[in-house]
Amino acid sequence: MSAPNLDVRLTRSQSGNILDIDFVGGLASGTVAAPLPAASSVPTAVGSCGSSSSTAMIVNGRKLKILEHRVHKVEMRTKENGEPEEELVVSNLRPFTLKVGVHDALDMPLLDCSLPLRAALLYENGLPVKQAPTSSSEPLLVGETDVVALQGSATFKLRITSLSSHRDKQRFRIQVGPQDADMLRVDPQLCVVTDPMKSVTKLGRVAPPPTSLSMPPLEGVNGVEGLKRKYRESLEVQAQQIQHLQDTQEMILGELHAVTSLAKRALASRQNGAGASSS
């Protein structure tokens, strides 16, 4: 039996996964094409968005990629091994923005893509976050959770209503994938997960940097005179503001005294009228 006249082209990702199989040419008469390898020999992408399949899977190379993830604050925390790391922080009172893109196997955006996507809330370990029995009926993730990716990108405006302090100090992630579960089984890379975020109510304020008391360099007499004039003008403005506050305070005190005097007179007049009527 002669070998089949068949040209097989495999497209692989940088990690070695098979992204596409293209058969070029045809089979010779009387020949049978070799079967595809078993599922165990074909690497598949397995993550928190999908599970591995028991059969060989050929994907077309589409994937999701995080283009922008805006949070409310970035803090420094110490990991268990003592190393410092940045921690993303969001407030449960304010929305944040997440933008994802649909790319091909060569990491190029698919501008002609129209893909319905959905955002879901996960714990840092990848498990889904469930509604607590004693909590309110408000969803754990609110905002624009269902968005259609047009021209290769989609922007979600989301708000996490739950707090990390109410979830054993666990942090959260946002998972974005197709609204159609069957599409995810065909394209397992059409799923992306953000970095973990801590959800709080009050973000706090960042302490301002210490002011420097050093004088700016002066250039000759003109520099000294200009600096004196600048400080003199600032002091004059502050003096005017202080004088205005003092005048306002004196006016308020005068009005209070006048109101007190009127109240005393009214009270005395009422008491005199009551005494005259009783006699």
Residue 141: which CATH number? 2.60.40.10
Q: The domain containing residue 165 runs over which residues?
A: 63-200
**pLDDT truncated to tens, each residue of the chain (279 aa)?**
444 444 445 555 555 555 555 554 444 444 444 443 333 333 333 334 443 333 333 346 899 999 999 999 999 988 888 889 999 999 999 999 999 999 998 999 999 989 999 999 999 999 999 987 666 678 999 999 999 999 999 999 999 999 999 999 999 999 999 999 899 888 889 999 999 999 999 887 654 554 444 445 555 556 667 777 777 777 877 887 888 788 788 888 888 888 888 888 888 888 887 777 666
Which of 33, 54, 30 has the alpha carbon at shortest distance from 44? Answer: 54
Same domain, 31 and 67: no
Residue 53 lies in a domain: no
Same domain, 30 and 136: no
Residues 73 and 88: their CA atoms lie apart, in Å, by 6
Q: Among 154, 169, 200, give the residue marking a domain's end.
A: 200
Residue 263 lies in a domain: no
Report the predicted TM-score, pTM, of the whole model to 2 decimal places.
0.53
Q: CA–CA distance from 247 to each of 237, 251, 259 (Å)?
A: 15, 6, 18
